[in-house]
């Protein structure tokens, strides 16, 4: 299991409720990625994605951890962290 999952889940669940948050890791070559799914009631909340990233990164920083990174294959050698956020809105 990816060691980053527990602190991220705890921090985000504190913000959005335990039952509204799923934090898992990928499989195969993406096993280190942190996939966060938020079930949100308010469709108009445009800042939720940015807040989830902020909370997740702070949780890892507090635990002296870092998200895994990958280098884009587009020739620019830009590192991007592997935290993916999906927002599901309840109708």
What burial letters (b/e) apply to 28-59, b meaning 16+ CB within 10 Å? eeeeebbbbbbebeeeeeeebeeebbebbbeb
Give me the pLDDT at residue 35, please: 83
Distance CA(91)–CA(77), nearest Å, equals 41
Q: Kindly list the structural domains of the chain, giving each domain's residue range(s) and its CATH number in brackets, ordered by start.
A: 5-89 (3.30.300)
Give me the pLDDT at residue 44, please: 62
Predicted TM-score (pTM) of the model is 0.76
Q: What does the pLDDT look like over 11-62, one tens digit per residue?
A: 999 988 898 888 988 666 666 678 888 887 666 667 888 888 889 889 999 9
Give me the pLDDT at residue 20, please: 87
């Amino acid at each position: 299991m990816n060691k980053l999952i527990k602190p991220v889940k705890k921090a985000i669940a504190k913000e959005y409720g335990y039952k509204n948050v799923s934090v898992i890791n990928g499989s195969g070559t993406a096993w280190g990625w942190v996939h966060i799914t938020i079930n949100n009631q308010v469709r108009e909340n445009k800042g939720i994605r940015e807040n989830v990233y902020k909370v997740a990164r702070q949780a890892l920083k507090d635990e002296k951890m870092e998200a895994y990174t990958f280098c884009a294959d587009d020739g620019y050698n830009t590192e991007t962290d592997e935290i993916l956020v999906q927002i599901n809105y309840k109708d």
